[in-house]
Structure 1
Amino acid sequence: MNSVPIPAALGYAEAIELAAAHYENFPVASILLPENYRKHIAVIYWFARTADDIADEGEKSISERQSELDSFLDSFRSAIRGELKDYKWQALAYTISAFNLSIINFEDLISAFRQDTKKKRYLNHEELSDYCRRSANPVGRLLLELFNIRNEQANFYSDKICTALQLINFYQDVSVDIKKGRIYLPLDTLKRYYLSESDFLLDEQKLNFGKMMEELAGESERMLLEGRHLLPFLPFRLRFEIAATINGGLEIIRKIRNIRYQVSTIRPVLKKSDYLQIGIKSLIHAVV
């Protein structure tokens, strides 16, 4: 790979600083990842984080957020044509060119964030899966492309992992999202358990809510376990990183079980002591 132009190098430095400040959301700072890849992952994170913030932060109207996302998409397309001087855009354009990354994955992310500005309910699992296909799966596919892993079987397992992690994050954040007027639970599944969006938080519905969450968490757990079949496709350090990501998701599910699935009132989180166990399990999965 040719030497990185100075403006792009400055953009990478800015992106790495941002990613390090938000490590809980993206594993850029992980020592498990090869150092020469970290700047490229960091600038992809900058892209996704910026678009997400446009969609979700502040007090702007839906139309204002959508207009800003449209402008962000225009800037992205200008950047890959080499028309922008901003350092981070130049860094992203360099990464896309150097690794021949698929443009559709970036466009899908913006599409999902644009949907976030207006859609607060999901009728069924199919609608949620379609959202995950655009909000989560592109990140996994871009990571595979960075490591030149380009086959449909690897993509299939990566999609399983990313969709499952997105759904687990939804279940983990039920108590947070409801305060923002969002419900990332399929409404048809609520109905099947004799719940509605207006009553599933009530104490008298705890039993039915717990049964529903047991089903949903179990489905996501099975997806993560199936996604483990991705590991043999990966080089060791990336394999260790992805194994840790999978095991982190499984640990959140275990914590959801431990609170009897009552995520409408309790938000389960990983503690520092959990990470050692996750690391040991992940090393075993990476080696075996």
Structure 2
Amino acid sequence: MPVDHYENFPVASLLVPKALRGPIEAIYHFARAADDLADEGQVPAAERLASLATFQAALDQLEAGATPAQPIFQRLAPVVRQHGLPLQLFRDLLDAFSQDVVQTRYRDYPELLDYCRRSANPVGRLVLHLFGRDGAEQLHQSDCICSALQLINFWQDVAVDWQKDRIYLPGDDMARFGVTPEDIAAARCSDAWRQLLAFQIARTRALMLSGAPLVHHLPGRMGWEIRLTIQGGLRILERIEQADYDIFRRRPRLGPLDWLVMARRSLTM
């Protein structure tokens, strides 16, 4: 199932045990639908926030023991109850998506990571809960992977996000490297831009690799699913580097040959 933040990576693929594909898809359907509400660019902000508030209200119903009427929650409710999933993680997702409606710039890297903590990390944590692998170390490693995936999506989508008047590059880093919003608007791939993006890629790669040991804590095929996910993220970073950081003229994507590379590298993790 495609999810924009993870469109380059496997989601509930055949590597996932069959019994958990449905629950994982239910989680992603919730995240995708809520993210779509936040991203309806032609809809006034107040209406988008009101739509997200209906999801918050549905979570409140679910917490009170009721099953909300919306089809997404009809599917999600039994998953939450059967696996004891923390509803706060779903609320964190909604909080991040609501933030996307009203905030278009980020002051520094810690502020951006706080957004990732709510926009991406909850999905990984929910999946770990499904597998009963929710120890502190495992959750931290999952957070590193999910935040890195979110950041990778930002770096490959700078031009796309600009069309929504969003810049996820930390403002203090942009100032330090001498890159302005006007440079992004002009799709200016200058030396300053290359240095800025190279810095972000190096930091994101290190974050991803710090979470990679998680694969050794996950059983069987799920471990291979996460191996491919990690390698997919790292491969996108390589694609950006190979394009000399010019994401304006060609958005990095994964092709069939990339998946072969990812599969081979997964064997040595």
Normalised by the length of structure 1, the TM-score is: 0.87
* 2:37 aligned partner: 54
Q: CA deviation at 1:134?
A: 0.1
Structure 2: 5+ residue runs without aligned partners?
Answer: none
Contact residue 162 and residue 185 of structure 2 kept, 8 A: no
In 1, the alpha carbon distance for the partners of 2:8 and 2:77 equals: 23
In 1, the alpha carbon distance for the partners of 2:143 and 2:2 equals: 25
Kindly indicate whether residue 16 of structure 2 is the aligned counterpart of residue 40 of structure 1: no
In 1, the alpha carbon distance for the partners of 2:122 and 2:177 equals: 32
Q: CA deviation at 1:50?
A: 0.8
How is 1:172-183 mapped onto 2 (pairs within 5 angstroms)? 172-183=156-167
* 1:89 aligned partner: 73
Q: 1:204 to 1:246 in 2, by over 3 A?
A: closer
Give the alignment's Cα RMSD to 1 decimal. Answer: 2.0
* 2:52 aligned partner: 69
User: Residues 181-236 of structure 1, C-alpha deviation per residue, up to 9 Å, x if partnerless?
Assistant: 11110111010011222234557761000011000000000111111111111112
Contact residue 187 and residue 248 of structure 2 kept, 8 A: no
Kindly indicate whether residue 136 of structure 2 is the aligned counterpart of residue 152 of structure 1: yes
Identity of aligned residues (%): 40
Contact residue 252 and residue 269 of structure 1 kept, 8 A: yes
Contact residue 174 and residue 180 of structure 2 kept, 8 A: yes
Match of 1:112 among 86, 93, 96: 96
Structure 1 segments, 4+ long, off by >4 Å, are 20-23, 200-205
In 1, the alpha carbon distance for the partners of 2:188 and 2:124 equals: 40
Q: 1:69 to 1:282 in 2, by over 3 A?
A: same
How is 1:1-288 mapped onto 2 (pairs within 5 angstroms)? 19=1, 24=7, 27-80=10-63, 81-200=65-184, 202=186, 206-285=190-269
User: Residues 7-65 of structure 1, C-alpha deviation per residue, up to 9 Å, x if partnerless?
Assistant: xxxxxxxxxxxx37989367345110001100000111111011011100252101110
Question: What amino acid is the match of 1:214?
Answer: A
* 1:10 aligned partner: none
Contact residue 82 and residue 90 of structure 1 kept, 8 A: no
In 1, the alpha carbon distance for the partners of 2:100 and 2:258 equals: 31
Question: What amino acid is the match of 1:35?
Answer: K
Q: 1:172 to 1:99 in 2, by over 3 A?
A: same
User: Residues 77-133 of structure 1, C-alpha deviation per residue, up to 9 Å, x if partnerless?
Assistant: 213422434443132111111111111110000000000111111111111101000
Normalised by the length of structure 2, the TM-score is: 0.93
Structure 1: 5+ residue runs without aligned partners?
Answer: 1-18
Contact residue 26 and residue 45 of structure 1 kept, 8 A: no
In 2, the alpha carbon distance for the partners of 1:284 and 1:232 equals: 12
Question: What amino acid is the match of 2:25?
Answer: A
In 1, the alpha carbon distance for the partners of 2:3 and 2:169 equals: 30
Q: 1:97 to 1:203 in 2, by over 3 A?
A: closer
- Higher alpha-carbon deviation: 206-215 or 193-202: 193-202
